[in-house]
């Protein structure tokens, strides 16, 4: 079996090692340069610089990722538009307490802190103090600052920034949403926040134009088919990823041979090759991991090419049921997905397939494979969500019981899918929106209702939302990209 050999090869292959010249000559070994005002942080940089952790890849990856976030935040402070305060973790190299015993191993101290100020010197002092580094040199610098320059802790940030901070999608702070006023009205909220919406929209539009230029250059110079990204990634992060990837291509031209005809996707989760053959690059990974992944692409091609064969084989064993991939997951990695298919196929072959043939032709129905920790269930869209650890007899019994329910839900899904697309298109045209999308936690009936009500109020909303990037979710918010988030059950 070619697929089994390919998977075993990927799993048994030792991690690629880069030469010293490659690591230190490439862009990945250097953090982003800061202005001269960052000189007070030099003791900190000397303690956490990734080049000091060449033999410790885990600590090096953490420090390099945190340095990217810290440098971006310091630059935003000096630009006068600080982002939301990041929570950072660093490893600091420290010698043994007993200095006489120099043969012992060198250890690391983990330091984790959250920046609670948008004053530059206060941020520097917080960082140095958290790492037990001297701060006496800051007094001279502080004396040269204007007297009006004072620290501004988080509690003094404007209400909208705090609102964004506690309502970001995926944040554990979403528990605080219950404390936000629930009687917010759409028209008054948009009117009140219009200056901020316009400001962020103009800033993000410049970045989006830059991103399109970088994407065109990447596709034209290196033969990349297209560039995509997770919907959760902001345009500022995408710009940083594109710039980093272009620098990597310039410094490693031999690597670009593998990019021809491929789709690059910047992810919010992890790097790898998707079941569709996309090259998925996590924005949190350092450039060495990007380089190693792209250099290993030939090993993944056999897996990606064999996935449709495995899907057809599984479909044949299950009376021609359609095998689909989970649309609620941004990317399904090729190696993991191939292992899921192979495992379920072997399980069905060992148990026998006569159970499925007795059910009849299942070509109208759809199954979605999921990890072994999931549960066997019928989704709201009518698809059978099948964990790979599910016993065949239990799977057959469940499908038999839920066939009528699945058929009804599939018909309703197909109808709602068509209506939702039509309503979203009409809403974009009537309100003259630049973009309209929804979060995964907003169902199709909810989105249809939201769009219909927006269209009915177009006389009052069109002047306010014209040209806006509207995002339907569960709460009110304005993203850093200038997207206007509104709840699906908004009130006028």
- pLDDT 10s digits, 69-80: 887 777 777 666
Beta pairing, strands 469-473 & 279-282: unpaired
pLDDT tens-digit map of 427-443: 999 999 999 999 888 88
Please name the residues in contact with 483: beta carbons below 8 A apart, sequence gap of 6 or more: 435, 469, 470, 471
* Mean pLDDT of the region 156-169: 45
In terms of C-beta distances under 8 Å and separation of at least 24 residues, what long-range contacts does 151-160 make, across chains too?
Answer: 151/117, 151/119, 151/122, 152/117, 152/118, 152/119, 153/116, 153/117, 154/85, 154/116, 154/117, 157/118, 160/193, 160/196, 160/478
Per the CB < 8 A criterion, the answer to whether 473 and 168 are in contact is: no
Is the pTM here over 0.75, yes or no?
no
333 and 274 Cβ atoms separated by less than 8 Å? yes
Pairing, β 107-114 against β 226-229: unpaired
pLDDT tier for residue 372 given thresholds of 50, 70 and 90 = confident
| Poorest-pLDDT segment among 53-62, 317-326, 393-402 | 53-62
DSSP state of 322: E
Non-local (6+) Cβ contacts of 414 within 8 A are none
How would DSSP label each residue in 124-140?
A: HHHHHHHTT---TTHHH
Q: Are strands 384-387 and 87-94 parallel, antiparallel or unpaired?
A: unpaired
What is the enclosing helix (H) or strand (E) of 369?
Answer: strand 366-370
Q: Pull the structure tokens for residue 471.
A: 């995002």
Provide mean pLDDT across the span 329-347. Answer: 85
pLDDT by residue (tens digit) across 289-306?
A: 898 889 888 888 889 999
Cβ-proximal residues to 378 (8 Å cutoff; 6+ apart), any chain: 384, 385, 402, 405, 406, 409
Cite the DSSP H helix spans in 167-193.
Answer: 186-192
Closest alpha carbon to 242 in 221, 262, 227, 260: 227
Surface-to-core class of residue 236, CB atoms within 10 Å of its CB (0-12 exposed, 13-18 middle, 19+ buried)? middle
Is residue 312 predicted with pLDDT exceeding 90? yes
Whole-number Cα distances in Å, 38 to 116, 125, 140, 146, 147: 18, 12, 15, 18, 20
Of 20-34, 131-145, 394-408, which range is least confident? 20-34
Query: Mapping DSSP to helix (H, G, I), strand (E, B) and coil, where does residue 422 land?
Result: helix
| Mean pLDDT, range 20-48, rounded to an integer | 51
Higher pLDDT, 486 or 44: 486
Residue 308 clears pLDDT 90, i.e. is over it: yes
DSSP H or E stretch at residue 376: none
Nearest to 210 by CA among 236, 232, 234, 229: 236
Alpha helices in 87-193 (DSSP H): 120-130, 138-144, 159-166, 186-192
Distance of CA 246 to the CA centre of its chain: 20
Q: How confident is the model at residue 392 (pLDDT cuts 50, 70, 90)?
A: confident
Whats the size of the chain, residue-wise? 492
Does residue 33 contact residue 74 with C-beta atoms inside 8 Å? no
Query: Element (H or E) spanning 37, and its range?
Result: none
- Cα–Cα nearest to 253, from 17, 488, 26: 26
Residue 207 has pLDDT above 70, yes or no: yes
**pLDDT for position 26:** 37
pLDDT at residue 333 tops 80: yes
């Amino acid at each position: 079996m070619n697929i089994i050999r390919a998977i075993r090869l990927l799993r048994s292959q030792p991690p690629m090692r880069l030469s010293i010249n490659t690591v230190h000559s490439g862009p990945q070994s250097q953090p982003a340069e800061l202005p001269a005002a960052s000189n007070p942080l030099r003791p900190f940089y000397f303690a956490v610089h990734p080049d000091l952790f060449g033999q410790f890849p885990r600590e090096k990856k953490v420090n390099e990722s945190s340095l990217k976030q810290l440098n971006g935040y310091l630059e935003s402070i000096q630009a006068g538009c600080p982002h939301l305060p990041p929570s950072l973790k660093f490893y600091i190299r420290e010698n043994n307490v007993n200095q006489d015993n120099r043969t012992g191993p060198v250890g690391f101290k983990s330091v984790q802190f959250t920046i609670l100020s948008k004053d530059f010197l206060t941020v520097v002092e917080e960082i140095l103090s958290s790492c037990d580094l001297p701060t006496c040199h800051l007094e001279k610098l502080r004396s040269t600052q204007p007297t009006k320059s004072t620290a501004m802790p988080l509690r003094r940030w404007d209400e909208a920034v705090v609102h964004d901070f506690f309502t970001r999608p995926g944040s554990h702070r979403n528990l605080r949403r219950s404390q936000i006023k629930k009687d917010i009205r759409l028209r008054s909220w948009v009117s009140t926040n219009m200056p901020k919406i316009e400001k962020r929209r103009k800033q993000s539009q410049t970045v989006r134009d830059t991103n399109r230029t970088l994407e065109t250059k990447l596709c034209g110079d290196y033969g990349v088919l297209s560039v995509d990204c997770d919907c959760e990634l902001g345009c500022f992060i995408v710009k940083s990823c594109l710039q980093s990837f272009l620098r990597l291509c310039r410094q490693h031209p031999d690597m670009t041979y593998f990019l021809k005809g491929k789709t690059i996707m910047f992810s919010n989760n992890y790097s790898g090759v998707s079941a569709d053959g996309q090259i998925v690059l996590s924005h949190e990974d350092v450039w060495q991991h990007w380089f190693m992944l792209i250099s290993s692409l030939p090993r993944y091609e056999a897996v990606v090419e064999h996935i449709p064969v495995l899907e057809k084989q599984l479909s044949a064993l299950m009376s021609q049921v359609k095998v689909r991939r989970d649309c609620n997951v941004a990317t399904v990695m090729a190696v993991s997905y191939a292992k899921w298919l192979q495992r379920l196929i072997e399980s069905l072959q060992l148990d026998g397939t006569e159970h499925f043939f007795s059910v009849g032709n299942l070509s109208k129905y759809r199954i979605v494979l999921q990890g072994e920790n999931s549960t066997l269930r019928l989704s709201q869209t009518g698809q059978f969500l099948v964990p790979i650890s599910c016993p065949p007899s239990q799977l057959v019994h469940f499908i038999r019981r839920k066939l009528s329910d699945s058929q009804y839900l599939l018909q309703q899904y197909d109808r709602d899918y068509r209506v939702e697309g039509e309503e979203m298109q009409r809403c974009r045209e009537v309100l003259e929106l630049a973009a309209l999308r929804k979060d995964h936690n907003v169902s199709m009936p909810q989105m249809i209702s939201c769009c219909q009500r927006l269209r009915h109020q177009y006389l009052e909303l069109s002047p306010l939302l014209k040209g806006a990037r509207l995002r339907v979710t569960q709460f009110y918010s304005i993203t850093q990209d200038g997207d206007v988030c509104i709840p699906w059950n908004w009130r006028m």
